Amino acid sequence: MRYPILLLMLACSFAVKAVEFSSISRQQPVTLVQQAEFGAYMDISLKLNAEQASTKTLYLRLRFIIGNDTLHDNLTVTGAYDGVVKQLLMREGERITAQILLNNAEVEEVGGLEGSFRAVHNSTLRVGPDLGQSSFIGNVWLREQNPLFRVKFEDAGPRDVQIIFHLEGNYEYDVLHFKVKVISPEQGILFLSRTATVTDDAELQQRSRTLRLTLEGVNFSYPGSYYLQVMHTMLPDRVNGVQKVEYAVVQQ
């Protein structure tokens, strides 16, 4: 039985990458690097005990670098924390650099910590050939994920269809660029490029919000099945802070 156990231990060692640390600062991040050997979701986990630290409440800035994409999250830890901080869909061969930085005001470094920063392939989240789900794990919208909706009307009548975006506090842009492919029983195939304004404020606020955009230019008054496929056209492949995309029918 020794050989199967040894093989299992070796497999686990390749699947899990961990970095231990005892301090954290604003300038020198705690850095973890892991490569995806196959297409899968990767869990980035943090175990942190700050009970012996001079500052019991830590405001942390999390940074995830994958190719040309850089995502940022914020985390507040009071006393202790143990859990998954991010789930990311990784393509085969992609490398992720995950970093933690201190974000406490007027504090450059905090010591006296017991910390472990870990990356592991998630065996329970399967990546199938269809990536078109409308709810995004980890609140990250990957370019290949194009939600597809079928909207069916039994009778004729005046109505509109809205595309709805649910954003959470880590969305970093003041606009959202997207495209909708519409297959209509009366108009055929349409491609609509749209921009949704997230905020007009000079400073982005970290809060959840819901955006609703009416699909102007499409006549939904005819009975039949309409197909709506939503694609983001932002510059990065991964858009952080998008929880879900859905639609709603609005009667005129």
What pLDDT score does 56 carry?
Answer: 78
pLDDT band at 9 (very low <50, low <70, confident <90, very high): very low
Average pLDDT over residues 37-49: 94
Q: Name 181's Cβ contacts closer than 8 Å, sequence gap at least 6.
A: 189, 190, 191, 192, 227, 228, 229, 231
Please check whether residue 130 lies inside any domain of the structure.
no
What pLDDT score does 197 carry?
Answer: 92
Last residue of a domain, one of 76, 94, 121: 121
Could you list the residue range(s) of the whole structural domain that residue 76 is in?
A: 2-121
Q: Give the percent of the chain with pLDDT over 90.
A: 78
Do 89 and 181 lie in a common domain? no
Last residue of a domain, one of 58, 88, 121: 121
Cβ(162)–Cβ(178) below 8 Å: no
How big is the CA angle at 77 (ends 105 and 104), to the nearest 5 degrees? Answer: 5
Query: Residues in the chain, how many?
Result: 252
Please check whether residue 129 lies inside any domain of the structure.
no
Do 170 and 239 lie in a common domain? yes
The token duo for 248 is 């709603």
Do 196 and 225 lie in a common domain? yes
Helices marked H in the chain? 2-15
Average pLDDT over residues 19-43: 94
CA 27 to chain centre: 25
Do 25 and 68 lie in a common domain? yes
In whole angstroms, what is the distance from residue 152 CA to residue 125 CA? 31
CATH number for the domain including 73?
2.60.120.260
What pLDDT score does 202 carry?
Answer: 60
Please check whether residue 177 lies inside any domain of the structure.
yes
Last residue of a domain, one of 97, 121, 145: 121
How big is the CA angle at 12 (ends 84 and 133), to the nearest 5 degrees? Answer: 45
pLDDT band at 127 (very low <50, low <70, confident <90, very high): confident
What pLDDT score does 205 carry?
Answer: 65
Do 113 and 15 lie in a common domain? yes
pLDDT tens for each residue of 65-74: 999 999 999 9
CATH number for the domain including 147?
2.60.120
The token duo for 98 is 């995950």
3-state secondary structure of 111: coil
Do 141 and 105 lie in a common domain? no
Q: Give the percent of the chain with pLDDT over 70.
A: 91
Please check whether residue 126 lies inside any domain of the structure.
no
What pLDDT score does 200 carry?
Answer: 73
- Domains held by the chain: number: 2
Q: Got the DSSP string for 133-192?
A: -SB-GGGEEETT---EEEEEESS---EEEEEEEEE-TT---SEEEEEEEEEETTTEEEEE
Please check whether residue 131 lies inside any domain of the structure.
no
Please check whether residue 168 lies inside any domain of the structure.
yes
Confidence check: pLDDT of 12 > 70: no
In this structure, the strands spanning 30-35 and 148-153 are: unpaired
Please check whether residue 7 lies inside any domain of the structure.
yes
Per the rule left: phi > 0, alpha: psi between -120 and 50, beta: everything else, 64 is beta
Instruction: Using the structure block, give the residue that is written with the tokens 């870990």.
Output: 118
Do 72 and 163 lie in a common domain? no
What pLDDT score does 199 carry?
Answer: 82
The one-letter amino acid code at 223 reads P
Do 70 and 158 lie in a common domain? no
Confidence check: pLDDT of 195 > 80: yes
Do 154 and 227 lie in a common domain? yes
Confidence check: pLDDT of 16 > 80: no
List the single range of 92-101, 106-115, 118-127 with lowest mean pLDDT.
118-127
Average pLDDT over residues 175-203: 92
Please check whether residue 182 lies inside any domain of the structure.
yes
Cβ(14)–Cβ(116) below 8 Å: no
Confidence check: pLDDT of 10 > 50: no
Do 100 and 14 lie in a common domain? yes
pTM of the model: 0.88
Please give the backbone phi and psi of residue 4, each rounded to the nearest 5 degrees, phi first.
-60, -40
Do 116 and 147 lie in a common domain? no
Do 108 and 170 lie in a common domain? no
Average pLDDT, the chain: 90
pLDDT band at 17 (very low <50, low <70, confident <90, very high): confident
Q: Name 210's Cβ contacts closer than 8 Å, sequence gap at least 6.
A: 164, 165, 166, 167
